[in-house]
Chain A
């Protein structure tokens, strides 16, 4: 591994053939490389998420983050796209699955790809990671504090997000879940319910609830950042992807 990388904006084909803007990064050595689809959080396709994409490339993976709000218009700033998508209740689940499938296909089509693809997502992207892993053939998935997997959003929330626990039997790959003990969406109780359901179904998973951490503990640009949980969490992510995405 030379530690040299390429990073930049690419186009991927998403749900129903839509062309999506995406941010990709990959090592410049000859590989082979596992692939990682990064699903951004609800505030959108931002600088912090692009940094996560580069972090995976620095660790030897080809990574791509599709801009799930691309349909809000080309040339529109990501924060305006996020606001427009929020006003519509977020991204429909069916569209998300198609967009992640397109991003995974992009990674598998790269030169030096080893054919394995994992998915990781944060916040709303954590829920969407679980959705993708139950809807597509994926090799490994990491859910970082995704809410509304077990319980529906409160009625007054204008979010199109139904619980996904009924899909758990279709989970196609090992799942790593990283959560904060002080989080309320999802609460440690909800995490426990999901874990028990996956145990019952015999689905391979490993959940970790970090003490002194709440929602968004990986977010280095926010006051929710908790270095102890984030450093340990990243170690777990790379250990997990190392076991499941290397050739």
Chain B
């Protein structure tokens, strides 16, 4: 079946696509038919920057197990790092600190 269901979220970071690195602003997750993977359905993740056009996109098509393993690995990696180390708030805080110095 086609689920059509698309979870969208704002994101802040960078990704490497077909034409090199770009800033990512938008994420989408949907469980649907893949474009390239050979499974009937996959968890499809897009990291994109629509302001730079449709080609500014990194696409991932994972099995359910693969997607959950990715989620778990992200949680483990974050848990092992000092809290807030990779937070967007930390970057804003250091930027305002250097501005006031």
Report which A residues bind B (CB closer than 8 A): 41-44, 46, 72-73, 76-77, 79-84, 86-87, 90, 123-124, 147, 153-154, 156-159, 161, 183-185, 214-216, 222-224
Contacting residue for A215 out of B1, B8, B18, B46, CB 8 A: B1
> How many angstroms between the C-alpha atoms of A222 and B8 in the bound complex?
26
Contacts of B1 in A (CB 8 A): 147, 183-185, 214-215
Q: Is the CB of A223 within 8 A of B26?
A: no
Q: Is the CB of B6 within 8 A of A80?
A: no
Interface centre among B1, B53, B55 (most CB of A within 10 A): B1
Q: Is the CB of B54 within 8 A of A86?
A: no
Q: Contacts A83-B48, A87-B28, A123-B2 given: A76-B35 contact, CB under 8 Å?
A: no
Report which B residues bind A (CB closer than 8 A): 1-6, 8, 18, 26, 28, 30, 32-33, 35-36, 38-40, 46, 48, 50, 53-55, 57, 59
Contacts of B46 in A (CB 8 A): 83, 87
Chain B, Cβ-Cβ closest to A77:
B55
Q: Contacts A87-B26, A224-B40 given: A79-B59 contact, CB under 8 Å?
A: yes
Q: Is the CB of A216 within 8 A of B33?
A: yes
Q: Is the CB of B5 within 8 A of A223?
A: no
Contacts of A158 in B (CB 8 A): 4-6, 8
Q: Is the CB of A42 within 8 A of B2?
A: yes
Q: Is the CB of B54 within 8 A of A157?
A: no
What are the nearest 10 A-B pairs in CB distance?
Answer: A84-B54, A80-B54, A159-B4, A223-B40, A157-B4, A79-B35, A185-B1, A76-B54, A72-B54, A215-B1
Q: Is the CB of B2 within 8 A of A185?
A: yes
> How many angstroms between the C-alpha atoms of A86 and B40 in the bound complex?
18
Which secondary structure dominates where chain B touches chain A? loop
Contacts of B4 in A (CB 8 A): 42, 90, 153, 157-159, 161
> How many angstroms between the C-alpha atoms of A147 and B4 in the bound complex?
11
> How many angstroms between the C-alpha atoms of A154 and B3 in the bound complex?
9
Q: Contacts A79-B59, A87-B26 given: A157-B3 contact, CB under 8 Å?
A: yes
Contacts of B3 in A (CB 8 A): 157
Can you give 22 A-B contacts (C-beta < 8 A)? A42-B4, A73-B54, A73-B55, A76-B54, A79-B36, A79-B59, A80-B59, A81-B54, A84-B57, A87-B6, A87-B26, A87-B46, A123-B2, A147-B1, A157-B3, A157-B4, A158-B8, A214-B1, A216-B33, A222-B38, A223-B38, A223-B39
Q: Contacts A87-B6, A153-B4 given: A46-B35 contact, CB under 8 Å?
A: yes
> How many angstroms between the C-alpha atoms of A76 and B5 in the bound complex?
24
